[in-house]
Structure 1
Amino acid sequence: METLKPGTALFTGPSGAVLRDAAGELFAVALSDEAVGGVRAALTRAGAPVPPELGAFDHAGHLGRRAGWPTARRTVAVLADHSADLLDALRRAGANPVALQPGAGLDEVLALRPAALCAWHDGPAPDRWLDLDALADHGIGWQRVSREGRHVLLEPIGVSHRDVRARRLAAAGSGHRHLSAYWAGEDVVLGDDTPDPAELLLVAALAVKDLARWAADLPVTGNALTPGAVPAHRRLRVLDLDTGALADHPVLPVPASAP
């Protein structure tokens, strides 16, 4: 039985049938009540006749099912300070997560032969992540999530950690030395900024959503409701834990250049 694409709705409006497409746009359906009834039946009842009008819905891209986690990319290694929420979220999304010991290096990750590595550090990103940039050379997705104060940073899977650091230092301008010192973490006095259980769940959900779309190779396109959408493999996402606000910043790899 055919089904509408997730996010799509066919309903009765003030003057006839209306379609809300997956991007949130609303359209009047120029079909007779009888034709709309046939389409409704084909979408809701197994064995119902398939009217020719349903082909128009298919041609316009309004039919389809939710994409599952691809089998070939199901194994995901997890290197996290708080791994329970990430492991649970990955399983619920259809992945097969495998937890690594804290401090695991490149060789330990490669030995698992995962499709991707998801790393979550409850603090500024550690320098050892730079060594794991080599995962891309082995065809392994490399996802990083770290926390700076009450801001969580979800780095793009398609850009190395080294390049993200370089872009952030460049964007910091004259303050790049302060940012480097903060990352180094020497002589630091901290406030109570540790995420609570609900915030850890939110971080896990956002990380897994990015990884799932990468695994399924699904594009991200803007629409009327999310006009500024940036593909997850090319954006740094910042989550403000206090307000729940999200800010997406496009990030491109740093081009190789002669010294």
Structure 2
Amino acid sequence: MRQRDAAAPPRLRPGCSVFTVDGRGAVLRDAAGAMFDIALPGNELAAVRSALAGENGVEPEALAAFRQAGHLGARATWPAERARVVVLAREDAPFCEALRRAGADPVVVPATSTAADILACDPAAVCAWSDGPAPSAWRELDVLVDHGVAWQRASREGRHVLVEPVAGEVRHRDVVARRLAAAGSGHRHLAEFWAQHDTGEALHGDEDADPSDLALVAALLVNDLRAWALGSRSGESAFHPLPLPVDRRLRVVDLDTGAISDHPVLPVPASAP
């Protein structure tokens, strides 16, 4: 055994658990949800449990295997160098509060801000929300990516919210082009829907996002931005073996049912028609 730093006791990684099963002994649930038997003699297991519970200052040798396998560690926090997030939304939208709680440093600017206005805030990322179809001006903000800024967009079409990839490579214009192509013969309808919303000609029902809708959207956007900030791309687990990374995924959320569907999306090559 070795003496450990009293200021940094070993802790199970968030999502990991150690428990016992009658007739089987101790079991480890890892952060991805998989279960493993722990093949340790009783005295060594007791020492491991004691160390993980912070009950002594001696770290047993058996704990090294937990560390090497990635089962120990503190909860990851939002990196300071990626904390400044410019928010394009109304002042009373819940995005800033959600970002602050997650560890970011949000700054609200008018939704009509230009790329130059936004870059003057020195952001690491930009989070844009439209309570309606995505404004055409977002295509002009794709240039933010060329300045090393993560560019996140979410918009509402009817009672569905579209959460676009955190760019990265897949910019807003790529999402627009891919959606028009996927619409097939209906691409003119989709294009006119967007255009006439922009001009105010389209008529809509009572479909604006209410506070509970916005809370859901804010949670999803902050989760994606935090994954970007922490450099987490895959998120594979026993529950979701093949998730799409946040920079290659168009997420559609049904605000009335809570149903979520994820769709892969790739950049449109420069040579594409």
Give the TM-score category using the shorter length: over 0.9
SS of the residue 2:59 aligns to: coil
- Asked if residue 177 in structure 1 is aligned to residue 184 in structure 2, the reply is no
SS of the residue 1:84 aligns to: coil
Task: Tell me how far 1:187 sits from its aligned partner.
Answer: 3.0
Q: Greater helix percent: which structure?
A: 1
Tell whether the 8 Å contact from 2:50 to 2:56 is kept in structure 1 after alignment. Answer: no
Structure 1: 5+ residue stretches without partners: none
1:52 is matched with 61
Which region of structure 1 is more displaced relative to structure 2, 79-88 or 112-121? 79-88
- Counterpart CA distance in 2 for 1:231 and 1:237 is 11
1:255 is matched with 269
TM-score, length-normalised on structure 2?
Answer: 0.91
- Counterpart CA distance in 2 for 1:219 and 1:30 is 32
Cα 1:93/1:22, change in 2 over 3 Å: same
After the TM superposition, list the runs of 4 or more consecutive aligned residues in structure 1 that deviate by more than 2 angstroms.
Answer: 81-84, 221-224
- Asked if residue 144 in structure 1 is aligned to residue 153 in structure 2, the reply is yes
* Structure 1 counterpart of 2:185, one-letter code: S
Task: Tell me how far 1:228 sits from its aligned partner.
Answer: 3.4
Output the aligned Cα RMSD: 1.4
SS of the residue 1:72 aligns to: helix
Q: Mapping of 1:54-69 within 5 angstroms?
A: 54-69=63-78
- Counterpart CA distance in 2 for 1:166 and 1:191 is 27
- Asked if residue 6 in structure 1 is aligned to residue 17 in structure 2, the reply is no
SS of the residue 1:76 aligns to: strand
1:92 alignment partner, one of 101, 104, 122: 101
1:166 is matched with 177
2:236 is matched with 222
- Counterpart CA distance in 1 for 2:118 and 2:92 is 16
Aligned length: 259
Identity %: 56
2:208 alignment partner, one of 194, 205, 222: 194
Task: Tell me how far 1:46 sits from its aligned partner.
Answer: 5.5
- Counterpart CA distance in 2 for 1:141 and 1:224 is 29
- Counterpart CA distance in 2 for 1:193 and 1:2 is 50
Structure 2: 5+ residue stretches without partners: 1-8
* Structure 1 counterpart of 2:137, one-letter code: R
SS of the residue 2:269 aligns to: coil
- Counterpart CA distance in 2 for 1:241 and 1:54 is 45
TM-score, length-normalised on structure 1?
Answer: 0.96
